[in-house]
Amino acid sequence: MRFLVLTAFLLFSSLFYAQYSVASIPEKLRFNVDAVIRNNEVSIQVLAVDQMVYQITKVVTVFNASGNVFADARIRYDNEVKVKNVEAVIYNQFGGEIETIKKRDFKDIAAADGFSLYRDDRVLYADFDPSQYPYTMKFTYEVETSDTGTMPQWYFVPGYGVSVEKSTYKISCSSKNLKPIIKEQNLAGLDVKVNNEYNTITYVAKEIPAFLGETLSPSHHYILPRLSVRLPNFHFKGYSGTVNNWQDLGTWIQDILLDGRDELGEPTITKMRNLVKGVQDDLEKAKIIYRYVQKNTRYVSVQIGIGGMRPINATEVDRDKYGDCKGLTNYTKALLRAVGVESYYAVVESGSTKVDMQEDFADLIQGDHVILAIPYNNSYYWVDCTSQINPFGYLGDFTDDRTVLVVTPEGGKLVRTESYLNEENAKQINGTINVFEDLSMDAQVTIQTKGIKYDLRMALERESSEHIKEYYKTLWDNINGVKVKNYSFENNKDDIVFTENVNFQAENFVAKNGEGYLLSLNPLNNDTYVPPRDRDRKYPFLVQRGSFEEDKIQIEIPENFTISSLPEDVFMETEFGNYQAKLQKKANGALVYNRSFFLKAGTYQKELYQKFRSFLRTVARMDKQKIVLIKNAP
């Protein structure tokens, strides 16, 4: 009998260990990955419009440090979100248990982000530092909440470099009017089973190989398989709502989040009216008010309760002179209203990667930033009220060229923000380089930037002299020993053009090469970027904005040097853009180098990637072109 019990125990143990052993993972899911999702499961019960419970089970095997992000055991919560039954169990590569972390052992901290003034949400997380790889973490917890306005979204594959054995999303509703709207995205070609019975919907996906990140690929929003989920009838932070489309959501935001928040005291109203006294044009009034906000307020974040979505009262911002994106936008809107200028609150998904609001799916999840839309002559001017340096109407790459939710008196409308494309993103370099007999040089350079390239340079005028000099040394690191002698900047905020005037010197600019000397023709704007090889590309590639560069460099060489020969002119025309370079010799012996490079914005088929790479490789090679100087005999 004892033998049978022992045998049963050993059999059970081996089966249990095998469940989480690395060897039990299918070989195709282990290849070239940072982690494997063994099981990821959420079970949601919507009990009422203001009552939801869900349980999460996540089992992840991590192979290296890059995979730790997929085993991150943390939960955000606040007064409306209660967490219980929290546990994390760590297993070794054989499936043997190493450590169990109970809820009492989790760290409980404020969800500080380094720039928030007020936050009431917190983070519960397991402080686990792996000492060896691979390891497996099983993370389980349960949530009870009255917030049904932001449903748990679901990525079957949560990122690049991670494969999935099994992923399950299950949602049950107590009545038909609580049934969710689910949008399936990027599921084509995957093994996903859907079961829809009465008021319960279940998605199960199995054995999904890893998606590998590719250079210039579109945002993961458009690649990774996921579900967007929302309830048409919801409750959020004490307020109920019904949203069927973006117009409805705009109305809810106006009625619940904004109504009554834009009142100002009479002294402030009088002050604003005096500021624009005599100005008739609404756009000019808006510029004056925007400059006032920039000079008199600063940005902080506020994340308390519905304050995570509702702006601070305009009177509070006016008094305290600070606010978050919502508060400062609402405040600017109130100031504009005081001088008779109409403007609208606008919700946007921010970041240098453009992400649109989903036209057919209105919910509170989308959008993480707020800007202001000012209607004028049948179009919109856009301003970011958190920036103290942006010109009026300039967004930069943080919120450009994407659909945003504009909250108008008629409800919400999806509108595309201003784009900066192709020739609008311009950089022009004019320079004179004097080369001396000792092979040193002195350069006078003027750089003008517009569009997104302006965004990359305008902050220079606020930097220290030490930082600026280091910046130029890094910019021209292809030139040995750059010494910046002086510089000046001109920031034309009306035309949105940034001008840099720089004088620098360098020794050994011309390199001795046998009997001759090598002179670089394009030392001021070397474009050396070449995307990596990708022979088995899976996705199209994206040039988000495009650009145009134009350079004219005059090079003065010593009288006792001559040019061995002039290179041939270069001109390339492709579907991705064009490049040209030309060197001329003037009557006085000076050289004039002209270069232009146009890169065209667009989404290109994956089959063109190698051709695109070849184009940029040729540009990089031409930008490194040199000529040989011969020193005349004395």
Residues 278, 346: one domain?
yes
Same domain flag for 74 and 165: yes
Domain presence at residue 497: yes
Ranges of beta strands (E only) in 337-410 are 344-348, 369-376, 379-383, 403-408
151 and 221 in a single domain? The answer is yes
Considering the domain architecture, whether residues 591 and 463 belong to the same structural domain is answered as: yes
Residues 411, 414, 418, 420, Cα dihedral to 10°? 160
pLDDT score, position 421:
97
Q: Is the CB of residue 567 less than 8 Å from the CB of residue 583?
A: yes
- Using 50 as the pLDDT threshold, list the residues of the chain that sit under it: 1-16, 113-118, 304-307
Residue spans of alpha helices (H) in 536-624: 609-623
pLDDT digits (tens, 9 = 90+) for 155-177: 999 999 999 999 999 999 999 88
Residue 6 lies in a domain: no
Query: Are residues 382 and 506 located together in one domain of the fold?
Result: no
Q: Is 280 in contact with 271 (CB distance < 8 Å)?
A: no
> How many Å apart are CA 308 and CA 288, to the nearest integer?
29
Q: Where are the alpha helices (DSSP H) in 242-324?
A: 246-252, 266-275, 282-296, 314-320
* Other Cβ atoms within 10 Å of 535 Cβ, number: 6
What is the value of pTM for the model shown? 0.91
With the C-alpha atoms ordered 227, 232, 234, 240, is the resulting torsion angle positive or negative? positive
Instruction: Assign residue 376 the CATH number of its domain.
Output: 3.10.620.30
DSSP letter, residue 71:
G
- According to DSSP, the β-strands at 577-585 and 570-574 are antiparallel
The per-residue pLDDT for 237 is 86
396 and 428 co-located in one domain? no
Residues 611 and 464 in one domain: yes
365-378 tens-digit pLDDT = 999 999 999 999 99
For β-strands 181-185 and 226-230, DSSP reports them as: antiparallel
DSSP bridge pairs for 43? 55, 170
Residue span of the structural domain in which 215 resides: 20-232
- Is 14 within the bounds of a domain? no
Residue given tokens 């006085």 in the structure block: 588
Per-residue HEC secondary structure of 158-173 comes to: CCCCEEEEEEEEEEEE
Residue keyed to tokens 């495009």: 546
Paired with 595 in beta bridges are 551, 581
Among 211, 232, 253, the domain-final residue is 232
Residues 345, 450, single domain; the answer is no
Predicted local distance difference test score (pLDDT) of residue 117: 47
- Beta strands across the sheet bearing 570-574: 483-492, 497-506, 441-450, 426-435, 547-556, 591-599, 577-585, 570-574
Cis-peptide into 134, omega within 30 deg: yes
Contact in structure between 385 and 341 (CB atoms under 8 Å): no
Check if the beta carbon of residue 298 is closer than 8 Å to that of residue 255.
no
Q: What is the pLDDT of residue 397?
A: 96
Give me 327's structure tokens.
């508060």
Residue 406 lies in a domain: yes
Q: Which helix (H) or strand (E) holds 457?
A: helix 451-457
Q: Could you tell me if 129 and 189 lie in one domain?
A: yes
